Structure 1
Amino acid sequence: MLLQITHETHYAYAPAVETAQHLAHLKPLQTASQELLEHRLEIAPEPVQRSESVDVYGNARAFFALESTHEELSVVARSLVRTSAPVLAPAAARELPWEQVRERLCYRKGAAYDPAVEFVFPSRYVPRHEDFAAYAQGSFTPGRPLIEAAQDLNQRMFRDFIYDGDSTEISTPAVQALAHRRGVCQDFAHIMIGCLRTLGLPARYVSGYLLTQPAPGETRLVGADASHAWVSVYLPGAEGPGGWADFDPTNGRQPGEDYVALAVGRDFADVSPMRGVLHGGARHTLKVGVTVEPVEEKDALGENAALPFPQNLEHPTP
């Protein structure tokens, strides 16, 4: 599937901002099931400095600095991504009981280090809490394969929780959202990660996009989509490091080719789409619009077809 994503972020400041430095995670990942074909990052006003680097988790991040007074900031990320069905884990990994996975990642003198163990520990938005373990126990029964238990937890959360955009904020603790059984995709991802980590299992946060379908008879609305978040669960290999299986508790399914991954981390704090340090601008308003739409291959990549991106833009300086 060929998907075109436009992610627009607009800040209005009062009073004006004098100087600012920003960090953005808005460039989709390159993975076994996802190929990034085009990416542009449009910034206004024009920054005096911009660069791109890769963080410790393999995410592309853009840095830019503004040194002139400005009352508004506009950042538009345009990406063209080809997706395919996720690669399934080997049968042996899918049959591993969850307790065996936990034991394999416990520290032992002389044992080989597995980088996935970092995702067992608490993080800023995902602390250890007995309430997570209590909820997870309904799915993680003795001897159950990890992939099966994770799928059951994913489905239970979809049934038990209510999506409510007014019920939480970024600062709402995940354990509180668990108690109220409501929240948004970010909350649900943090809760599922908390359940897994409290049992000693590695889990990571994935930010990205999901292709939504307009209602019958209606056209796709530009800017009406939103960023999405889901969870990756670690499956060790027969020997040495293994892979990750994705789960989306908001929709009760495993992500497929209609998903686009932006970044992975311990929780939202690692992969926030935009954050910055400002001098001035005591108050601000924020507007975000996301459009995800399928594109015909011949229209986007045909020999004589125009690319769906402005051609007078430059790539960020590496």
Structure 2
Amino acid sequence: MDKDYTLLIIDDDPAMHIMLKTMLGTDYNIINANTAQEGINKLAEEKIHFILTDIHMPGMSGLEFLEALMADAEMQNIPVLIMTSLPTIDKEQKALGLGAADFIDKSLFNSDREELINRIRMKLVANVDIPDLPEKLELDKKEITKSVLFEVSSGDFVSTAQKLCKIIFNKLEADHLSFWTLNEENVQMLLAYGIQLPRKYGPKDLKEEPTFKLVQEQKRPYLVNNVFNSEKGILPELSEDEGLPAEIGIPLFALTEKELIQNKMKIPPNVALFGYVVIKRKRVFTSHEYKLTTLMMMQLGTTLWRLYKDL
């Protein structure tokens, strides 16, 4: 397999470099640095997609390195995982407050290596890069990513889906959001926020919606800012009654983080759907809002699928 992503590992312990190379070297290009300054030098020379750094090192510490990185406009969006052999709540809160993507106890490398690997994959797919994103949406993106990644550590599909959808709902100032799971012919509504669907509206009704059928066929998200006079959008009667002209529909795919990374962050054409998310709003959606929401939901949907299939 071609290795499209490069991980920078910063640690003054040679044994950690050997262990992480064994764990991650099959899937990623690994670059090693023994000090934070050496890591900074590597960042200037190489395209780095993810950083794992020890918190305790001679010279600049991992937290000082993280603080410097977050102040660099060109490098502040690279996910950073802080590693330590002596975890404390204060250290973890400080690392997360400075902008770390995660904080991890090194003992996990021996006790649950698969969890560590999953967390790295999860952070790579969550790191959505959209050029020229307005500042507010850039801040929203970081908050969504941090909140969801923290929640995912519980490994629970329902709570993770609830957390992600609630954050998206609030950040978009949406008026309705519903999440449906799809399993062949079986369709179920997992949750709904804001304006609720009519009591008599259920899975059978959704399956009859032309827009839902189109999503199943084309496997692409959609945006419509005038549901009242468009052929797209579900529940046009509800939209008109509640004054909801804008709608985003997002398919979620039966694809894990590992499979998405192996496919260079692109959804393969023949992957089945496992979810469908509908977001309605009284205000129209901008193109930036649409792009950020759909990319984040579809890429983080790979984490949801991994949790869902393990139920």
- Please give the TM-score of this superposition, normalised by the length of structure 2: 0.28
Higher percent of residues as helix:
2
- TM-score of the pair, normalised by structure 1: 0.27
